[in-house]
Chain A
Amino acid sequence: MPVDFTLIVVLVIALALVFDFTNGFHDTANAMATPIATGAMRPKVAVGLAAVLNLVGAFLSTEVAKTVSGGIIREGDGGVQITPEIIFAGLIGAIVWNLITWLRGLPSSSSHALFGGLIGAAIIGIGFQSVDYTVVVAKVILPALIAPLTVGVVAFIATRLAYFITRRDTGRADGRGGFRYAQIFSSSLVALSHGTNDAQKTMGVITLTLIAGGVQSVGSGPQLWVIVVCALAIAIGTYTGGWRIIHTMGRGLTDVKPAQGFAAETSTAATILASSHLGFALSTTQVASGSVIGSGLGRRGATVRWGMAGQIALGWVLTLPASAIMGAFAAGFALLGPVGIVIDLILGSLVVVLLFRRAQRSRISHDNLHDIDDAGRVVKIRKTPRKIARRDRKKVAL
């Protein structure tokens, strides 16, 4: 029945765009929390800028989209037949898990939820051989482990450098306030890089659906209209999510100094941009958290709160398998045919509505800032009074 077929493809595309929207909604904080916290930008400007740059970023590169659409699941000749129903189930799993973690205040990654959901759905729907595990390890799991560590080290070095170069020899002005201006640009770069990596994931899923539905040839990249709608969805999500940040900002963020924030954001942006270029589907949240921790450690008197770090790591490890289970459940229903799809939709929307109603009740305690904020709290900064010897004050800076 061609009518049914088009309906399911349209349904999957709509669901993918909802996922894209929640992704932008969830991740505005990554880019814009630090400049708002250090007073570098007015929140309205920051959020608007983040939305526009996400839009632009989505157009810059399509490598990550190709990883998602052409690598993880073996589709086409010689592989297995992936159906739009499976992708549908995977998306339901990802969205539900994303909302659960968001509500419970668990750190998680939208990207890993997406991959977990798809993998779980494919395993139940088709079988273990349907997933190309080498690609999953090479382009999803290993980058997930390596990227936060790398970016942490990079941010540590960058922070040390920033403080070293602008060190105060004389007890007089060091000009570090000027890093506030720099943050306007560095956080913009983070927003741009978010567009190059996260918007791509949804493009990849829609492309995969079109390939599965036989509308597009196997191995081709995303079409222009797909790029445009994904870019728009993530930009609107970013803008909407930003308003939440502004409203919950009173809670206060981790103590981030302008120099530190600038170093952290530069490292985050550089890492995400380089990864996007090579088609690694990173979790932007994890990279941002890694760099906040690394840059915190680069400050004087920093110590790690290991318990907190462990909690965050646990949340990250859990995401992929947990969303895979969600996706598998949804796929189990989807296999029943049209009735199953309807059951999935009803169950999915029921969970979403329920979670949103609970979120309404506890809006202040569970907001979307928690990921980066928790990462910031991993590092404890000892307040040490700077003692500058009298004779040093005579010397003058250069």
Chain B
Amino acid sequence: MIDWAAFVVVAGASLLGSVVVVSLYSLGLRLLTSAGRALVVDPQSFTGAITILTPKRAAKEARRARKTASANPLTVGQKRLALVGAYACFVLCVGAVLYGVYLIVPALHR
């Protein structure tokens, strides 16, 4: 028998999982940027890798981040709130992934 419902479950679960995880992480990044703490990946920490991000570009992005931070109209309190929100998003994102893995491991349900 072809179990069409199972296909719908797989499609629904993967859509839900991806949307939740990607949205939470993106929102976290955005809030982090708003809080004036935009993540700039230092190419030095990826020495072994193919350097897609050149030092020049990294410096440019760091400059941009500083500019954003300095021109940030948010008050100190708002920034702090955004930072807390960002961390909350990251925690929720990790939580969502762990919950997803928990769901599929039968050994954890016994």
**Which A positions have Cβ atoms within 8 angstroms of B?**
36-45, 60-61, 134, 137-138, 142-143, 146-147, 150-151, 153-155, 157-158, 161-162, 165-166, 170, 172-182, 185-186, 189, 192, 196, 249, 252, 259, 262-263, 266-267, 270-271, 273-278, 280, 396-398
Q: What's the minimum C-beta distance from B62 to chain A, rounded to whole angstroms?
A: 9
Q: Are B18 and A154 in contact (CB under 8 A)?
A: yes
Known contacts A137-B2, A176-B29; decide if A60 and B104 are in contact (CB<8 Å).
yes
Residues of B within 8 A of A259 (CB): 26
A44, A138, A143, A273: the one contacting B101 at CB < 8 Å is: A273
**Which B positions have Cβ atoms within 8 angstroms of A?**
1-3, 6-7, 9-11, 13-15, 17-19, 21-23, 25-27, 29-30, 32-34, 38-41, 43, 46-53, 61, 64-65, 67-68, 71-74, 82, 94, 97, 100-101, 103-107
Known contacts A37-B50, A39-B41, A397-B34; decide if A274 and B104 are in contact (CB<8 Å).
yes
Residues of B within 8 A of A151 (CB): 14
B1, B9, B43, B53: the one contacting A274 at CB < 8 Å is: B9
Q: What's the minimum C-beta distance from A199 to chain B, rounded to whole angstroms?
A: 14
Instruction: Find the A residue at minimum CB distance from B11.
Output: A150
Q: Are B71 and A396 in contact (CB under 8 A)?
A: yes
B9, B11, B26: the one contacting A161 at CB < 8 Å is: B26
- Judged by DSSP, the binding face of A is helix
Residues of B within 8 A of A396 (CB): 68, 71-73
Residues of B within 8 A of A186 (CB): 21
Q: What's the minimum C-beta distance from B98 to chain A, rounded to whole angstroms?
A: 11
Q: Are A277 and B39 in contact (CB under 8 A)?
A: no
Residues of B within 8 A of A398 (CB): 30, 34, 74, 82
Q: Are B71 and A172 in contact (CB under 8 A)?
A: yes
Q: Are A271 and B41 in contact (CB under 8 A)?
A: no
Residue of B32, B34, B61, B97 contacting most chain A CB atoms (<10 Å): B97
Interchain CA distance A40-B48 in the complex, whole Å: 10
Interchain CA distance A143-B107 in the complex, whole Å: 25
Interchain CA distance A278-B10 in the complex, whole Å: 8
Residues of B within 8 A of A158 (CB): 18-19, 22
Residues of B within 8 A of A252 (CB): 50
Q: What's the minimum C-beta distance from B65 to chain A, rounded to whole angstroms?
A: 4
Interchain CA distance A274-B68 in the complex, whole Å: 40
Q: What's the minimum C-beta distance from B74 to chain A, rounded to whole angstroms?
A: 7
Residues of A within 8 A of B104 (CB): 60-61, 196, 273-274, 276-277
Residues of B within 8 A of A43 (CB): 48-49
B10, B43, B68, B73: the one contacting A275 at CB < 8 Å is: B10
